[in-house]
């Protein structure tokens, strides 16, 4: 049974011969009714405070959930960025390695070509040197032949005088 302050104030008791002092009982019931009314008001206030605290807690729980989801999303995003950056770095390194190999291969081919050209030029120089030596020898023989002809001519001229 739920008891209200009004119930206490309106409660009637049977009168008996040797009963309690009526005024005292009524004063006491009034005090009990006021105390009960204060307790009911306090309970109502506390219930409102609890409801308000529950609302606030629900808001905080919702904010907490949003923050957790945001943090998880940020972590995923961070991981994705890191993974993408690592992939991009690997691609850049691979491209650089390929480009480096191409440059090295190109340089090696150029070196080989230059080496071949130098060998060919040396061979041509030797041919030219040989041709010049042969030509000089031929000229020397020709000059020797001219000198011999001059000597022979002088002998012929000396004899004919």
Distance CA 42, CA 34 (A): 12
Are 37 and 5 in contact, with CB atoms under 8 Å apart? yes
Residue 37: Cβ-neighbour burial (10 angstroms; 0-12, 13-18, 19+): middle
For the chain, list residues with pLDDT below 70. 1, 157-161
Give the pLDDT score at 159. 67
What is the predicted pLDDT for the residue at 160? 61
Phi, psi at 2, each rounded to 5°:
-90, 130
3-state SS, 16-81, equals: CCCCCCHHHHHHHHHHHHHHHHHHHHHHHHHHHHHHHHHHHHHHHHHHHHHHHHHHHHHHHHHHHH
Element (H, E) at 89: helix 22-159
Whole-number Å distance between alpha carbons of 32 and 5: 8
pLDDT at residue 1, as a whole number: 56
What pLDDT shows up at residue 97?
97
Q: Where are the domains of the chain?
A: 5-159
């Amino acid at each position: 049974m739920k008891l209200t302050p009004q119930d206490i104030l309106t409660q009637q008791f049977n009168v008996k011969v040797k009963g309690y002092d009526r005024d005292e009982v009524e004063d006491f019931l009034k005090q009990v009714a006021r105390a009960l009314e204060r307790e009911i008001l306090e309970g109502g206030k506390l219930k409102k405070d609890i409801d308000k605290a529950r609302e606030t807690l629900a808001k905080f729980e919702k904010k907490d959930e949003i923050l957790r989801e945001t943090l998880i999303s940020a972590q995923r995003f961070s991981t994705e960025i890191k993974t993408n950056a690592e992939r991009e770095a690997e691609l850049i390194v691979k491209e650089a390695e390929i480009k480096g190999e191409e440059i090295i291969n190109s340089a090696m081919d150029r070196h080989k070509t230059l080496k071949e050209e130098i060998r060919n030029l040396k061979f041509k120089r030797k041919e030219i040197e040989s041709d010049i030596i042969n030509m000089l020898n031929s000229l020397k023989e020709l000059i020797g032949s001219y000198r011999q002809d001059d000597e022979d001519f002088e002998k012929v001229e000396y004899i004919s005088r």
